Structure 1
Amino acid sequence: MNITNKTVLVTGGGSGIGYAIAENLISKGNKVIIVGRTESKLKTAADSLKDVTAIRCDLTNENDVQNLVDTLTSEYPELSVLINNAGLVADTKNGTATDFDRATEEFATNYFSVIRLIEKLLPLLKSQEEAAIVNVSSISAYSPHHLIATYCDSKAALHSYTKSLRFILEKDTHVKVFDLLPPMVNTDMTKDFGGEAGLAPSQVAKELMTAMENDEYEIHVAQTADFVKLYLSSPTEAFQMMNGSH
């Protein structure tokens, strides 16, 4: 698909992968709107990116989301690309990776908020001649890491949902659905569990741009395609590799 001269919404655009995606989109001549729950982080990102609109929104809050949708519908009726990047790994220092409260918090941001935002913006996206939804999942959707088990669960749910959404929308709409599946990425979110050794967000963003231009709907970033092949041949070996016991 063509990813120039479009109006794009990037959730979680204040830092990390979302910031890098916004930066790439701006360089291609797109009008970019970034959304996040932290005002200071959004302001810093907007000051750095310059050609961007920043809107504070807690995507787990129904009123915030409705206000966002109302603003987009009235002020940006040409919106044609939604990038659901906002994500959360609950505190890894307190409790265990299977705590109920932790799972609830992660699913609220990583899964349920995505479904709600898509549902509310789908009529607008369907009205465009060409449109796209990008859901940022994770390679851990295939096989979990034990330290962030419920985070991986939420990404597995998102990966499954994205496949079904694509199947439904490709039948009779112009809305393309992409699934971005990066490995560990060096962001603020991953710093407590080895993220410094991960990929640069800029690499993830660059590969997303290329995949969208080539209509590659399931995007295995860097060497993650090899991990998927391993998973398909031996889920047990893939789990062992993910958890450092292979």
Structure 2
Amino acid sequence: MKTTGNTIFISGGSAGIGLAIAKKLSAAGNKVIINGRSEERLQNALKELDKTAVAIQGDLSISLERIKIVEELRNNHPELNIIINNAGAAFINDLSGQKNNAAEKAYQEINTNYISVIDFTALILPLLLQQTEAAIVNVSSIAVFRPNKYLPTYSASKAALHSYTQGLRDTFSENDRLNVFELYPPLVNTDFSAEIGGANGIPPSEVADELFTALEKNQFEVPVGDSKKMHALANLIKEEVNH
């Protein structure tokens, strides 16, 4: 699809992967709308983007705020044609700890990384379907293929998002005006991943570059870095099962 002249909403767009994607797409001549919970962080992020960029403050994990954000998009940005569901929550979750409150952490991850994405997408779909060309980009994770003991419930939430994304793509497979992408970042050097060794990860700009190229090529599956090996192996297994 085209990579310039779009109007793009990016959740979690004030820092990390979201901001890197916003920078890349803004520099390419797209109108970028970044979203986050902190107005201060959003305003700081806008200083790094093209003058056409705008911010919408709000917490997409809260139903009433999702509705408010969607109403603002409909009223003020009716040309919106791409959404990037990037906002996420992750907790180190030791399932062996009796006082770890594992279920509460899992609830927050599932709500933010999965349920909220489903609801927000459903609310904004009518607007996207009005456009001549539109896209939904869901940011999942290498954890879809390789969960670990430090992030078991985060991995599960991203696996759920992965399954939903595939189902969404199948649902609109005959609609040539709406494309559904899935982005699989590996460990990325951001504040979000600092607690799990993010300093050893790839720069967020690499993720943004890979997504940009995928949009150009209509490559709906977008593994990045180490995720490419895991993605290729998963596809090989699928092929063998199908045969």
TM-score by length of 1: 0.90
Contact persistence 1:140–1:155 (CA under 8 A):
yes
For 1:98 and 1:225, the matched residues in 2 are separated by 34
Q: Secondary structure at the match of 2:90?
A: coil
Report Cα offsets for 1:98-123 as digits up to 9, x if no partner. Answer: 81000001111111110011000000
1:231–1:77 distance in 2 versus 1, CA, 3 Å: closer
Equivalent residue in structure 2 for 1:134, among 126, 137, 142: 137
Aligned residues: 234
Report Cα offsets for 1:139-162 as digits up to 9, x if no partner. Answer: 111220110110000000001100
For 1:11 and 1:233, the matched residues in 2 are separated by 32
The equivalent residue for 1:227 is 230
Contact persistence 1:69–1:120 (CA under 8 A):
yes
The equivalent residue for 1:242 is none
Structure 1 residue 90: Cα displacement: 2.5
Contact persistence 1:92–1:192 (CA under 8 A):
no
Bigger helix share: 1
Give percent identity, aligned residues only.
42
The equivalent residue for 1:27 is 27
The equivalent residue for 1:60 is 61
Matches within 5 A, 1:96-245: 99-172=102-175, 174-230=177-233
Deviates more, 1:64-73 or 1:16-25: 64-73
For 2:127 and 2:214, the matched residues in 1 are separated by 23
Structure 2 spans left out of the alignment, 5+ residues = 238-243
For 2:114 and 2:69, the matched residues in 1 are separated by 18
Q: Which amino acid aligns with 2:119?
A: R
Structure 1 residue 189: Cα displacement: 0.9
For 1:94 and 1:47, the matched residues in 2 are separated by 41
Q: Secondary structure at the match of 1:206?
A: helix
Q: Secondary structure at the match of 1:4?
A: coil
Structure 1 spans left out of the alignment, 5+ residues = 235-246
Coordinate RMSD, CA, aligned: 2.0
Deviates more, 1:87-96 or 1:131-140: 87-96
Q: Is residue 71 from structure 1 mapped to residue 72 from structure 2 by the alignment?
A: yes
1:187–1:73 distance in 2 versus 1, CA, 3 Å: same
Contact persistence 2:92–2:150 (CA under 8 A):
no
Structure 1 residue 43: Cα displacement: 1.6
Structure 1 residue 67: Cα displacement: 1.0
Q: Which amino acid aligns with 1:73?
A: R
The equivalent residue for 2:39 is 39
The equivalent residue for 1:15 is 15
Contact persistence 2:93–2:105 (CA under 8 A):
no
For 2:56 and 2:191, the matched residues in 1 are separated by 20
1:233–1:85 distance in 2 versus 1, CA, 3 Å: same
TM-score by length of 2: 0.91
Report Cα offsets for 1:34-80 as digits up to 9, x if no partner. Answer: 00112221121112325210111100111111111111101111000
Contact persistence 1:88–1:109 (CA under 8 A):
yes
Deviates more, 1:57-66 or 1:193-202: 57-66
Contact persistence 1:90–1:105 (CA under 8 A):
no
Deviates more, 1:56-65 or 1:85-94: 85-94
